[in-house]
Amino acid sequence: MAASNERPLGEVRFLTVAEVASAMRVSKMTVYRLVHSGELPAVRVGRSFRVPEQAVHSYLQDSFVEAG
């Protein structure tokens, strides 16, 4: 049974590496590095990767730092 904070798979929105790179304002290579290092979870579909949208939000939220 899925944890209470997980959404059913049909409701999960997956993003391409290019979409993640655009949203994060980084290069596609940076996204690939994050995926391969395990910092950003992804699903492999054929030869490409799909990243759950919520994983991108969680990664950015966890990486946020206060300046000053």
Cα–Cα distance, 9 to 13 (Å, whole number): 9
Q: What is the pTM of this model?
A: 0.80
Q: What would the mean pLDDT of 7-29 be, rounded to a whole number?
A: 92
Q: What would the mean pLDDT of 9-14 be, rounded to a whole number?
A: 84
Cα–Cα distance, 31 to 40 (Å, whole number): 8
Q: What would the mean pLDDT of 25-43 be, rounded to a whole number?
A: 97
User: pLDDT at residue 58 above 60?
Assistant: yes
What integer best gives the mean pLDDT of the chain?
Answer: 89
Does domain 10-63 fall into CATH 1.20.120?
no
Question: What is the number of other CB atoms lying within 10 angstroms of the CB of residue 20?
Answer: 26
